[in-house]
A = this chain, B = another copy of it.
Amino acid sequence: MALFDWKDSRLGEKETKILEAAMDEFIAEGWNGARMQSIADRAGLKKSLVHYYFRSKEKLYRETVWRVMEYFFTTVLGQTEGKENFEDFLRSFINSVVDATGLNPRIPLFLMQELSRGGEVVCSILHDILSLQEIPVTTVMRIHIARAIEKGEIRPVDPIQFILSLLGACLYFAMAEPIIREIGKREGFLDQFDRQAFLEQRKEAVFNQFYYGIGGKRSE
């Protein structure tokens, strides 16, 4: 039932059930839409018990955000080790992000609704997560890119700008899918839409776009 794999051997059976229910509820409804009663129902327990194990809604929410972010920053973005050349690295990164978010669009949307609330929770948790990692994921990626530039494998680009563009391109479809489908229905593309095939095309298209560009010849 859980949207992705987390697990905490330190937690008892009831706590696990509650947290699982809370994650489902928060990810589906967001902070403002989530209801403690609904979390209790999902867990098959009384509401008072939810309060007994986790003092407040806020605490459950933080636990949820923590796990979601940890999943995203390690499982999704962290699949970049061991790739020798930049092409492989890029392909593997795109596959990982498109697959994860295509499989579960609610997760990036959940993070967005949190950002829409100001993102204080997400930032404070991010702070903690980054503190825990010896070498943060983003640094790993930046080094990857810097090395490829040195080796002349790719042209010199600002790693941050590159990552921002890439991540946006990978995430956007999953988040905006309802809109895109509506337009597609209306304007005739996307007839007989095969989602899985589309995601495969998407990976290929993003790779080609970012690796080869659309047509300009480099000026140097």
Contact = CB atoms under 8 A, between A and B. Distances in A.
Interface of A: 29-30, 32-33, 86-87, 90, 106, 109-113, 115-119, 122-123, 126-127, 130, 136, 138-139, 142, 148, 153-155, 157-158, 160-162, 164-173, 175-176, 178-180, 182-184, 186-187, 189-190, 201-202, 205-206, 208-218
Contact of A213 (B164, B175, B209): B209
B112 A116 contact: yes
Contact of A214 (B162, B168, B176): B162
25 contacts: A30-B32, A30-B116, A32-B32, A112-B112, A115-B178, A119-B178, A123-B179, A126-B183, A130-B182, A153-B215, A155-B214, A157-B205, A161-B205, A164-B180, A165-B172, A166-B169, A167-B172, A167-B176, A168-B169, A168-B173, A169-B172, A211-B216, A212-B218, A213-B213, A213-B214
B187 A157 contact: no
Contacts of A183: 126, 130, 136, 138
B30 A179 contact: no
B186 A130 contact: yes
Contact of A165 (B118, B158, B186, B206): B206
